[in-house]
Amino acid sequence: QVQLQESGPGLVKPSQTLSLSCSVSGGSFTRGGYHWNWIRQHPGKGLEWIGNTYYSGSTHYNPSLQSRLTISIDTSKNHLSLMLTSVTAADTAVYYCARSEWYGFDHWGQGILVTVSS
C-alpha cells in the first residue's frame, strides 16, 4: 500500500521560501505511469493543484504559481520536494502531496498546515 507523508516547517515568514518534502513508501517510485503532485487547500476553501513531477524529473506547474515554484524529485530517496518563493499570507494553506495516474489522485498524504506569518 502506497503511503505519502509530508514534512516541513509549519510557519514561514512573509517573503521567505516555503520548502516541503513528501516521503513515499510502499510502492515503486520510479514506476512509469505515475505523476507525483502537490495540491493545497486554503483554510475553509477548495482545492488548488500546484504542480507535479514525473520520475524522469519532468514537471508541470500551475501557471498562477509558476514564477515562484520548483518541484523536484529524488528517486534514490523516494521523495519529492516543493519550494515556493516570496510567500505571502495568501500562501497559508494545507499542502498535500498526492499520486496520480491518468485518471485521478488515488493516494494522498495526510497534509501539512503551513502558515505564513511574521
Give the interface with other proteins as residue ranges (CB under 8 A).
Answer: 37, 46-49, 51, 60-64, 96, 98, 100, 102-106, 108-111
Q: Which is nearer to other proteins, 36 or 96 (CB)?
A: 96
Q: Is 67 helix (H, G, I), strand (E, B) or coil?
A: helix
CB of 13 to other proteins, least distance (A): 26
CB of 118 to other proteins, least distance (A): 27
44 CB contacts (<8 Å, ≥6 apart)?
Answer: none
Decide: 9 and 82 in contact? Cβ < 8 Å. no
Distance CA(87)–CA(99), nearest Å, equals 25
Q: Which is nearer to other proteins, 15 or 110 (CB)?
A: 110
Q: In this complex, which beta carbon is closest to other proteins, that of residue 16 or of residue 105? A: 105
Shortest CB 76 distance to other proteins, Å: 26
Q: Of 17 and 110, which has the nearer Cβ to other proteins?
A: 110
All residues at 6 or more sequence positions from 112 whose CB lies less than 8 Å from its CB, including other chains:
6, 7, 8, 10, 20, 94, 95
* Least CB distance to other proteins at residue 47 (A): 4
What gap in Å lies between CA 114 and CA 104, rounded to an integer?
25
